[in-house]
Chains A and B, each alone.
Chain A
Amino acid sequence: MAERLEILLLDDEPIVGKRLKPALEKSGCKVEVFENPLEAMDRLEQKRFDIVVTDIRMDEMDGLQVLERVLAKWPQTKVIMITGYAMMALARESMEKGAFDFIAKPFRPDDLRRVIAKAAKALGSSIDFNTAGSKQS
């Protein structure tokens, strides 16, 4: 794992990437944002990310497919699902397919930071996520 957590953020709503990228970068993460799942998958073919944060409902490919393909290629990667259409069945299906966590929209950037901190810990990251932001700035 790189010294900085490498995160791929995929959501077809541009506002999500715009809001979350700076919040995560402030915490010391390296973030690549995609709005198109096919482009994100191309990137994931080339490079392993520590964490993938993906929306579920997207036109070209849904988040569950993204989850399956990421884990097939990079089993160590932690995949966090985010959706505005959260329902129990979808949450359970995501977990069953190997998602690290599932978050309902709307959420605050701090909610995602907390989950990413948990994922970083599970990856054995020595980054102190709570203080990384202040160290970086």
Chain B
Amino acid sequence: MSIIVISADDRAAEDQIGSRTAEITGYGRLEYGLLKEIAAKYDIEEEKLAEALEREPSLLRGMPPKKWYYYLACIEAEVLERLAADKMVTWSLAAHLYVLGISHALRVRILSDSEKMAKAVAEENGVSLQKARKILAKRQRQRVQWSQAAYGQDETDPALYDLVINLGQIDPDEAAATIAKAVGYRKFEPMTYSRKCLANLLLAAKVKTRLLETMSDIDVQSRDGRVIVTTKALRRDKQKKTLAIKELAGSVEGVNFVEVHFNNDIFKEAAQSLR
């Protein structure tokens, strides 16, 4: 059975359509509520996880980039672990930005009725419609910046999705019914290849989480238990960091080989070596 990944420009619409799609398909739900479990498992405040999903890192708010990436990695690993069970609908956990290349994942983008949203914002904040539109445009810019900083993707890009639904033209119940019908297409059925791709993403996410607990500048890819870690280090620290990465990554269940690559800024490295 397949996976449905829903993303929307409006949280309420995402919740409504995600829940309705889960009801129609009988699939399990994977949404915001999972943060509580993740918080308990990794001993992180739930609010911090929620904040990491909403905003970019900020030293002023006590969310340094290193922690931000770690929190996002924890969420990613836990979501992917649950998606491996199939028959799941997920939303609000940024899965549309890291469940990539999985042929049995139907990726859906919901566009809200922008005028309706502007009216709601105007009422909520006691401002004019024109001002409300500006507030919405700013929020959208912030989401684009966030998604690019977190996962290198623009979440508003329609090319990321299999299906884009405009709620200005289609009501939420119809949208959920359309999603439920689309996921039944044969092309979204799981296959050996897509299950392996998901298993590879999961293993990479687990390794990334383990490494980001103590390190930064980590990128991980995996294939059939073989893991490639790309990181940065000064020349004199490379050997030490390689050993540390191999030990930590090798301790993750399912990893049978670890390769470490360094992707350094050579100009910065040269400047540092002259100090």
Contacts and interface: CB of A to CB of B under 8 A. Distances in A.
Interface of A: 86, 88, 91-93, 95-96, 98-99, 101-104, 111, 114-115
B191 A101 contact: yes
Given A95-B186, A96-B186, A104 B196 contact: yes
Given A88-B194, A102-B191, A114-B192, 14 more contacts: A88-B101, A88-B103, A91-B103, A91-B193, A93-B187, A95-B189, A95-B191, A98-B186, A101-B191, A102-B192, A103-B192, A104-B192, A104-B193, A111-B192
A103 B187 CA distance: 15
Contacts, number: 40
Interface string B92-120: 00000000011100000000000000000
Contact of A103 (B102, B103, B189, B193): B193
Specify the main secondary structure of chain B where it touches its partner. helix
Interface residues of B, number: 14
Between B185, B189, B197, the greatest number of chain A beta carbons within 10 A of the residue's beta carbon is seen for B189
A24 to B, nearest CB: 16
A99 B197 CA distance: 18
A97 to B, nearest CB: 9
A95 B194 CA distance: 11
B192 A101 contact: yes
Nearest to A115: B192
B193 A102 contact: yes
Nearest to A104: B193
Nearest to A111: B192
A96 B185 contact: yes
Contacts of B196: 104
Contacts of B193: 86, 91, 102-104
Between A99, A104, A111, the greatest number of chain B beta carbons within 10 A of the residue's beta carbon is seen for A104
Contacts of B185: 96
Contacts of A99: 191
A92 B192 contact: no
A17 B50 CA distance: 52
A103 B188 CA distance: 15
Contact of B103 (A95, A114, A115): A95
Interface in B147-200: 185-189, 191-194, 196-197
A96 B188 CA distance: 8
B76 to A, nearest CB: 19
B102 A88 contact: yes
